[in-house]
């Protein structure tokens, strides 16, 4: 199935701070995988991978936190990123909000995790960056050299643990019709997001 030309949007940079990314990933996890609070390691590993994939979000476009390509069944918005070599994919998914992009990131990771018999999210939860990188590569998430990806993912995860690690903000999600209310709170972080879904 070809991408719908009417769904093509202008590529716009969408950088966020490290703290904002952590909160966005928590909200996306609640939307995609349920309101159960994920382990701090799981959020930290996702934080590390998103920072690896998007050059610390400076190369995040339209809230595509994982540099996710559309795929043959993608019916959502998409974008063409500027300045890429012709050897790399040119079309990438695009999202209207940070939380929508994070939810899709988690759906993609969870789908790949099922293909790998749960090994990806287990590695995330264990804080095992080397195994997480190997499992993501085996699932087809990326094609970069494994050793380089493992080294960078490990360094970014270590940075997360030293700078942003526990206590994790608490997340709750309540669906009211077509509206999902997500409340994220921690000692220094408090916020609420209203998302229309469906």
Residue 179 domain flag: no
pTM for the model: 0.83
Residue 192 domain flag: no
Residue 33 domain flag: yes
| Predicted pLDDT of residue 187 | 36
Residue 66 domain flag: yes
Number of domains in the chain: 1
Confidence at 2, pLDDT banded by 50, 70, 90: confident
| Predicted pLDDT of residue 66 | 94
pLDDT digits (tens, 9 = 90+) for 161-181: 998 875 544 555 555 555 555
CATH code of 87's domain: 1.10.530
pLDDT digits (tens, 9 = 90+) for 51-88: 999 999 999 999 999 999 998 889 999 999 888 877 77
Give the domain range for residue 48.
5-166
- SS (HEC) of the chain: CCCCHHHECCCCECCCCHHHHHHHHHHHHHHHHCCCCCCHHHHHHHHHHHHHHCCCCCCCECCCCCCCCCCCCCCCCEEECCCCCCCCCCEEECCCCHHHHHHHHHHHHHHHHHHCCCHHHHHHHHCCHHHHHHHHHHCCCCCCCHHHHHHHHHHHHHHHHHHCCCCCCEEEEEEECCEEEEEEECCCCEEEEEEECC
């Amino acid at each position: 199935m070809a991408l719908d030309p009417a769904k093509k949007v202008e590529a716009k940079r969408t950088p966020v701070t490290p703290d904002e990314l952590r909160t966005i990933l928590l909200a996306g996890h609640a939307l995609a995988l349920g309101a159960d609070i994920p382990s701090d390691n799981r959020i930290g590993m996702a934080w590390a991978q998103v920072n690896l994939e998007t050059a610390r979000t400076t190369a995040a476009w339209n809230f595509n936190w994982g540099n996710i390509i559309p795929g043959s069944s993608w019916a959502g918005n998409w974008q063409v990123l500027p300045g890429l070599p012709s050897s790399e994919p040119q079309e990438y998914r695009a999202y209207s909000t940070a939380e929508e992009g994070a939810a899709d990131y988690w759906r993609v990771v969870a789908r790949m995790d099922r293909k790998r018999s749960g090994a990806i999210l287990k590695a995330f939860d264990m804080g095992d960056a080397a195994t997480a990188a190997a499992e993501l590569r085996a699932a087809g998430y990326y094609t970069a050299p494994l050793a380089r990806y493992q080294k960078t993912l490990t360094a970014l995860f270590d940075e997360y643990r030293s700078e942003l690690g526990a206590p994790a903000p608490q997340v709750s999600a309540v669906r009211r019709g077509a509206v999902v209310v997500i409340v994220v709170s921690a000692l220094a972080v408090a916020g609420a997001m209203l998302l229309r879904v469906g």
